[in-house]
């Protein structure tokens, strides 16, 4: 997994894109979840993968919207 593509660091400008904020928030929540889970009853791997897939989908939707906004702004 590439962190750059997950966090959306390909945005331009000085203000962070929505994808950056979402990526940072997700990674913060994920790390917190992993730190606080019970070692004797760890998180189900299928749930973990499901969360990663949902985040990736959200990230891609955000990038598509930004691209569409850029295209419509040029017209």
pLDDT for 2-55, tens place per residue? 333 334 444 444 444 555 676 778 788 888 888 888 888 887 888 878 888 888
54-72 pLDDT, tens digit per residue, is 888 988 998 999 999 999 8
pLDDT of residue 18: 54
pTM to 2 decimal places: 0.51
Letter string b/e over residues 24-58, b meaning 16 or more CB atoms within 10 A of that residue's CB? eebeeeeeeeeeeeeeeeeeeeeeeeeeeeebeee
Distance of alpha carbon 31 from alpha carbon 42, whole angstroms: 14
Distance of alpha carbon 30 from alpha carbon 7, whole angstroms: 13
pLDDT of residue 2: 36
């Amino acid at each position: 997994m590439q962190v750059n593509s997950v966090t959306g660091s390909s945005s331009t400008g000085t203000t962070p894109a929505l994808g950056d904020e979402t990526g940072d928030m997700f990674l913060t929540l994920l790390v917190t979840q992993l730190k606080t889970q019970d070692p004797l009853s760890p998180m189900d791997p299928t749930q973990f993968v499901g969360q990663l897939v949902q985040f990736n989908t959200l990230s891609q939707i955000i990038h598509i919207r930004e691209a569409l906004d850029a295209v419509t702004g040029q017209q």
